[in-house]
């Protein structure tokens, strides 16, 4: 969850758009002005393929552009999360140029892959 510095809180959560059970995990997205009333937004982060799921992670506003993704803005958002596929978990990054509503997967993903099947 983060505050955009203006008037909106953003909350991301593990979400399966096809069932009320685990599996097929994406990052759902909701916003709030008061932390009490929430509005669901479209899915924020999608898995890269049908055999992979988006697990937990973190999202931050990159006000100083330390990532290099946002040379001309102060409200870029970077998300770092686990991708899970059969027999493998890796760390990946996506970034948002619209304040956290939509994300683009970093072309260099996976960012961390230790080639461990556990």
Residue 83: strand pairing partners: 54, 90
CB atoms within 10 A of CB 72: 7
pLDDT value, residue 22 = 87
pLDDT of the chain along its 118 residues, tens only? 999 989 999 999 999 999 999 889 999 999 999 999 999 999 999 999 999 999 999 999 999 999 999 999 888 999 999 999 988 899 999 999 999 999 999 999 999 998 776 6
* Spatial separation of the C-alpha atoms in residues 8 and 30, rounded to whole Å: 10
Residues 6+ apart with CB under 8 A from 28: 12, 13, 14, 15, 40, 43, 44
Rounded to two decimals, the pTM is 0.92
| Predicted pLDDT of residue 100 | 96
CA dihedral 94, 98, 100, 101 (to 10 degrees): -100
- Residue 118 has a pLDDT of 61
Task: Look up the CATH architecture of domain 2-105.
Answer: 5 Propeller (2.115)
């Amino acid at each position: 969850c983060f505050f955009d510095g203006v008037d909106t809180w953003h909350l991301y959560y593990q979400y399966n758009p096809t069932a009320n059970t685990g599996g097929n995990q994406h990052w759902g997205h909701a916003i709030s002005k008061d932390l009490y009333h929430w509005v669901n937004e479209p899915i924020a982060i999608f898995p890269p393929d049908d055999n992979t799921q988006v697990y937990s992670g973190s999202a931050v506003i990159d006000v100083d552009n330390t990532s290099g993704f946002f040379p001309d803005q102060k409200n870029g958002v970077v998300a770092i999360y686990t991708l899970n596929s059969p027999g493998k978990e890796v760390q990946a990054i996506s970034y948002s140029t619209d304040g956290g509503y939509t994300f683009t997967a970093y072309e260099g993903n996976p960012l961390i892959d230790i080639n461990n099947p556990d």
